[in-house]
Amino acid sequence: MVLCCFTVVAEAQKTKVVLETLQRETEALQRKVDSLERLCWMNEAQITTLESRVEKLTDKLYGQVDAYNKMIVELNKKIEDVAANPQAVAEAPFEFLPDEQFIADRLKVRHRGLYGFIDRSENLVIPCIFDDAETFWQNGVAVVKKSGKFGVIDITGKTILPFEYDDWGSGDREDRSIRLNKNNKWGVAQLPSGNLIIPCQYDNCRNGAWRQGAPHFLVQKNSKWGVIDIDGRIIINFIDARNAIWHESKYRFDTNQGQVYYDIYGKKTTR
């Protein structure tokens, strides 16, 4: 009888342990269920947010599609108008060039391979009729080329020097003169007036010294070199020389006897 009681007590204790274990597992399971419910609630909130964003994006996309459809309708209308009246299509009057800038309120542009100039309001003030063109100088003139010959124009397009020169070079640092080549002979013109102050009669012409606000020029004629001023007056008489340059504030003439030097005033000097 005592043994039977001990057995019952042992079984009751085991049952209690099992019940406590089941209770703990039930509580743990309940916590998992609660966690899953919260997760499901969060997912529902996220889904709701995503649905709202998708709806807004869809509305925006439909709006863009409508706008594009209108553009296509307008474009098709323009195509139909052009097909019905091709003469009404206006070609762009010019194209801009890289690295060009306004000087003297003029900017070089190009159209069909020819050059002209616009003002700051983008009006084509000088038509694109030149084979080549230099940027305007500060004194309001530009060297341009037409039919294979160079000439000079002002900011209105008026011809300052006629188109009859084969080559040219800058005449001085203030752009008050220009060296011109015609039929292999060089001369000098004054700018911006365009007066040909030194006729094209020299075999070569180079920039020389700058004295008292006016340029001098090294000129060659019949294998001799000399120096003249802007008015054509001789500063250094012509010398038999292979070459002549203005270098380090002196004129240097390379003769058969050696190098001969002259100062800015035309007086013979040493190196």
Q: What are the residue ranges spanned by the domains of the chain?
A: 50-89, 91-165
Q: Are 106 and 126 in contact (CB under 8 A)?
A: yes
Q: For residues 116 and 91, what is the distance between their CA atoms, to the nearest angstrom?
A: 16
Q: For residues 114 and 94, what is the distance between their CA atoms, to the nearest angstrom?
A: 9
Q: Give the C-alpha distances (Å, rounded to integers) separating 152 from 140, 141, 167, 256.
A: 10, 7, 12, 40
**pLDDT value of residue 86:** 61
Q: For residues 81 and 108, what is the distance between their CA atoms, to the nearest angstrom?
A: 34
Q: What are phi and psi of 249, to 5 degrees?
A: 65, 25
Q: Give the C-alpha distances (Å, rounded to integers) separating 41 from 44, 67, 230.
A: 5, 39, 96
DSSP symbol at 93: S
- Which of 208, 167, 214 has its CA nearest to residue 187? 167
CATH numeric code, 91-165? 2.40.10
Reported for 75-84, long-range contacts at CB under 8 A and 24+ positions apart, including other chains, are none
pLDDT digits (tens, 9 = 90+) for 168-181: 999 887 888 999 99
List Cβ neighbours of 249 (8 Å cut-off, separation of 6 or more): 209, 263, 264
E strand or H helix at 197: strand 196-202
- Average pLDDT per run of 10 along the chain, which is 271 residues long? 42 60 70 68 63 66 70 71 61 87 96 96 96 96 97 97 96 88 96 94 94 90 94 94 93 95 93 79
**pLDDT value of residue 31:** 73
Angle at 112 between CA 111 and CA 113, to 5 degrees: 90
**pLDDT value of residue 63:** 73
pLDDT digits (tens, 9 = 90+) for 25-34: 767 766 766 6
Q: For residues 212 and 197, what is the distance between their CA atoms, to the nearest angstrom?
A: 18
